[in-house]
Structure 1
Amino acid sequence: MRLPAFVLIATAVVLAGCSVPAPQAAAPEAVTVTHAFGSTTVPPNPQRVVSAGYTEQDTLLALGVTPVAVTDWYGDQPHATWPWARDELGSATPTVLTAADGPDFEAIAAQRPDLIVATNAGLDRARYDRLAAIAPTVAQPAGGSAYFAPWDDQTLLIGRALGRGPEAAALVDGIKQRFAEAAAAHPEFRGVPAVFLQAPYYDGQAIAYQDGLSTDFLTDLGFTVPADIDRFAPEGDTQQAYIPIESLGVLNSATVLLWATEDAEARTALEAQPLYRSLTPVQGGNLAFTDGVLAGAIYFTSPLSLPYVLDTLVPLLDEAVAGNPETRPVGSPA
């Protein structure tokens, strides 16, 4: 039944006289997070966020936050943003900072940030204190390395700092689920020894990755990393092994070799080495080669780069396990 106009007016007058407040949404609250150097209280809804480390811009963008400044690691990408993150960046043009020897404190301060994200910035206590004097700063996770702590730990920490913890957890879970699904779809990967290496050679050595961030993408797909390469790692280093050219035969302990070749010249230099050409995986075509973007995506290991790695690399690994004659050096026996 439609009420007469005078009843509606009377009702409004009564309500006004009673001073009944209109319901309001709860105001956002500051968030306190812990990290390697203690705790940081982040103001609600920070608007001027600076990405002070090598890869944090990807995590911020994945969580819907566009930083006002990002740090260029390598690659000379527009706005220090690689192809896998450009859709999330959109038309934004963040200031690009450099970090040749740690954060550029003066340039960061010039951005007037209300939050500095530095979970992959190589911070020690002194550097953290300098950044924290500029604005609230989130350092690497407690117990994590100064550079390249686990990507999921960084993502969850940044998400909590932004007041977007549930979104960060869902993002991490989604990526891990994608890796699990890819592994299930490729049972032929399970238990296959594989080595990921930089190319070309450096100072007469091949650099192979042993453990951690730069091999997790392989082991999460079911591959294993042969322990034979460990003896070429410097004492106390569990991340990289430096294999002299004359000792390349150790790579015969792998079934698959994945080479981070960033251009055609890198692969040509690699294949010019006779010992390389004689390796069993090379002779069998059990090889995969990256281009510059895929190599960058593997090195970044971020919430935006990892889906790109899955989409691009898994087909190459599928061919490598089966043996791809097209990857053999020209002139190799069939």
Structure 2
Amino acid sequence: MSVHTRSRTAAALTATAACLALLTACGGSDDSSADKPAAGASADAGKGSFPVALKNAWGSAEIKKKPLKVATVSDGDTDIALALGIVPVITPDAEDGGKVPEYKQRAIDKLGAGKLKTYDDTDGTAYEAIAAEAPDVILGINTWEMDKDYAKLTPIAPVVTYTDKAQADTMTWQDRLKTAAKALGLEAKAEEVIAASAKGTSDAAAAHPEFKGKTYTYTVVHPEQISFMSYGDQDPGVFEQLGFAKTDKAKNYGPDKNAVSLENLDQLDADVLLVTYPFGDRGVISPKELEANKLFLSLNSVKSKHFAVVPSENTLASAIAYPDALSAPWIVEQLTPILAKAVAGQ
């Protein structure tokens, strides 16, 4: 499985890519078209306004009429399609034989899609497999491989991707969703998805006023280092949307300077400390070793039990790192009770 799939597995949380952690600003439309959706399209998808021309970093995608057959080149793009009510005609095998994440399975079941048709992306994007499905459009908004893929994908179908190469890392999930929605004629549906996610987050925050103003640190144990992920100039993410605030030590860290040595574990202390081990014992320090470390045990947050582990085996850690339209509400659902127990010292 290649990295461009934005896999939900632990391998996706590499030290360099993890600067995306917490990057999140946090029913179909009527269809009066006479065209009937082909396999892979939602029957109640909105008609939209066509033709549509979407500029991108490599050229432009000219979409003459409403796409009915949508292919995706990354796991994140598959989630975008599913969030918009579209079952892709083909997707990369992002699960690599593993279990489909809960939030994704929910969407698949809701759409009655059964098992998604996939291609093996171990060696990268399978252009021939995509071409064989004759898609009307290809979604590539959540991939790091578009520099390599674009020229080979455009002869197959219009490619919907970002307007600047830097957006591979910086684009919010809301903007990725909106870009795809414009190409698919589903802009109203995208706004509905965004609004529902925002409401779910604000409802969770309102239900837990004890979160308000509590400082937090979120750290990820990578193979090379312990990473301070809630650094100063990090975009407000789900923790802050729920009412938490960064510590004063966050200003000492940034996307290119986020390593915390074992001698400086006190830098992690906050009202609430959250740690995840996406690599298990393959991290620079094992969970058992870190949680037995004398300096770690001396932290106020640890001594007072305001410490929690964010699970990685259920894909929550990777979903926090790479939120998208499908996973964002599920992140809040899963994370809120963990935070509530940590605040309560349970």
Question: Fold match, TM over 0.5?
Answer: yes
**Native 8 Å contact 2:137 2:157 kept in 1:** yes
Spell out the pairing of 1:50-61 with structure 2 (5 A cutoff).
50-61=71-82
**Native 8 Å contact 1:128 1:139 kept in 2:** no
| Higher RCO, 1 vs 2 (CA within 8 Å, ≥6 residues apart) | 2
Distance 1:73 1:274 in 2: 39
Q: Match of 2:69, as an amino acid?
A: R
**Deviating more after overlay: 49-58 vs 264-273:** 264-273
Structure number with larger C-alpha Rg: 1
Q: Which runs of 5+ in 2 are unaligned?
A: 1-31, 36-46
1:162 aligned residue = 184
2:62 to 26, 38, 41: 41
Query: Is the aligned partner of 1:82 residue 2:101?
Result: yes
Q: Match of 1:57, as an amino acid?
A: T
- Compared CA separation, residues 69 and 242, structure 1 to 2 (3 A): farther
Distance 2:71 2:299 in 1: 47
Displacement of 1:262 in angstroms is: 4.7
**Deviating more after overlay: 306-315 vs 294-303:** 294-303
Q: TM-score, normalised by structure 2?
A: 0.73
Distance 1:313 1:105 in 2: 37
Q: TM-score, normalised by structure 1?
A: 0.76
Deviations 1:285-330 (A, max 9, x none): 1112222222233233122212211112101101111212xxxxxx
**Native 8 Å contact 2:71 2:138 kept in 1:** yes
Distance 1:300 1:74 in 2: 15
2:267 aligned residue = 250
2:287 to 246, 262, 267: 267
Spell out the pairing of 1:1-334 with structure 2 (5 A cutoff).
29-73=50-94, 76-78=97-99, 81-90=100-109, 91-98=114-121, 103-123=125-145, 125=147, 127-140=149-162, 142=164, 145-147=167-169, 149-199=171-221, 201-203=222-224, 205-210=225-230, 216-233=237-254, 237=255, 241-252=258-269, 254-262=270-278, 267-291=287-311, 292-293=313-314, 294-324=316-346
Structure 1 runs (4+) greater than 6 angstroms displaced: none
**Native 8 Å contact 1:70 1:94 kept in 2:** yes
Displacement of 1:124 in angstroms is: 5.3
Q: Which runs of 5+ in 1 are unaligned?
A: 1-23, 325-334
- Compared CA separation, residues 316 and 25, structure 1 to 2 (3 A): closer
Q: Match of 1:94, as an amino acid?
A: K
Structure richer in helix, relative to its length: 1
Distance 1:123 1:263 in 2: 24
Distance 2:229 2:142 in 1: 19
**Native 8 Å contact 2:119 2:129 kept in 1:** no
Aligned residues: 291
